[in-house]
Amino acid sequence: MYRIALKMLRGDRAKFLGLLFGIAFTAFLVTFALSYFAGFMTRGFALVSENLSADVWVMDPAVHSTEMTIDMSETVLQQVRSVKGVAYAVPLSLHDIDARFADGHFQRVQLIGIDDATLAGTPLPPDGSSVSLLRVPDAVFADAGGTKGKLRSPRYEKDHWPHDGAHLDAPLRDLSAGDELQLNDRRALVTAVTHTLPRFPPRPLLYTTLSNVKRILPSESRYITFVMVAAQPGVAPQTLAKRIAETTGFRARTAEQFKADTVRWYLVNSEDVGDMTAMLILAMTVGFGVTGIMLYMFTYENLKQYAVLKAIGASDRMLLAMIFVQASVSALLGAFVGIAACAFTGWGIEVSGLDYPFRFMWFGPLTGILGVLVVSLTAAAVSVRPVLKLEPGIVFSEH
């Protein structure tokens, strides 16, 4: 009987292909939405991902993400370094500040302060230059941070810091080594342009030493946002994090724990999560509509065949099982096509170099398959009603 159900499914190829397209579209949207979510979540904890040497992150007890932070007193650094099992601990400072460019325009950037002694946390310049360039007086490393066209400088020398006012309409080029900026009316010299992990939300980044941060922001009384800790050999990061929290009273999380904390924070606070949920609901709604209509058309146009099967003794349960087999096979085939299309789209985004938050992870395809199965089986349950109410004699009399 199930073989008959599959032959009925393939009988009208046009409708069968339309059904597969509707299911594939649903699987594509669901998988793409979750891949987008995974992508911007990954960018949300990019600060943690780019500092692989940090086993434990120490922060104010109220901080639960890399996005919403508050600074701590410099005494926290010595407290953390005194904890048993700490190999080394270095400070990291995050501050939002307006940067003024040579033509007069300004841009909000994130100023990241790095430990002067070790330069731990400094991204490597792509041209092979040394991170020691950050020790040049007033030096900063500039990074787009996932933005486009935010770090721009005048193309011509005559438009650099003109004495006759801002040249806001001057032709621009990408910021490069040797350009100068103003940060809080202080000089900043770009000694390298880096390409580290994009951020979410996207923002231009300026890396500099902690001593430079203090010079640029002299009114601040606290500068340390995080303390990055490396564990001694043989000491588990979870054990060290717990020990630091108990000893100092500050929040201490392993790198993986801090990533998970950041994801949870975005789930609660980010409006993009609501956008993703709306996309999923739209995908399920469209898929239910298309799949439901196509399955109903299949069922209605095959009433005569179902009537014959009912007349020769097929039970309602058997006919119901046949329809659900049709729906399940269509769902799995359509899901495969949709997920493959999503994977190909992700590959195209990566190959083309588009700066788009897309990360194809295991839960995306799994949710896509489960989603279309739910949609297809629900649609099948709706479309089975004419078959269950079918009277074989009435059908034969009409033909």
pLDDT tens, position by position, 272-320: 777 777 877 776 677 667 766 777 777 777 777 777 777 777 787 887 8
As a whole number of angstroms, the distance between CA 44 and CA 48 comes to 9
Instruction: Please state which of the ranges 113-117, 236-240, 247-251, 326-330 shows the lowest mean pLDDT.
Output: 326-330
Choice between 4 and 170, residue whose per-residue pLDDT is larger: 170
Domain residue ranges of the chain, discontinuous segments joined by +: 2-43+271-398, 71-224
CA angle (356, 358, 362) in 5-degree steps: 175
Q: Confidence band (pLDDT; 50, 70, 90) for 394?
A: low
Alpha helices in 50-132 (DSSP H): 75-81
As a whole number of angstroms, the distance between CA 210 and CA 91 comes to 8
**Cβ distance 357 to 43 under 8 Å?**
yes
Supply the pLDDT for residue 17.
83
DSSP string, 124-171: PPTT---GGGGGSTTEEEEE-TT-SS-SEEESSGGGSS-TTS--TTS-
pLDDT tens, position by position, 165-189: 999 999 999 999 999 999 999 999 9
As a whole number of angstroms, the distance between CA 215 and CA 258 comes to 30
pLDDT tens, position by position, 22-68: 888 888 888 888 888 888 888 999 999 999 999 999 999 999 999 99
**Cβ distance 244 to 250 under 8 Å?**
yes
pLDDT tens, position by position, 325-337: 888 888 889 889 9
**Cβ distance 298 to 383 under 8 Å?**
yes
**Cβ distance 124 to 67 under 8 Å?**
no
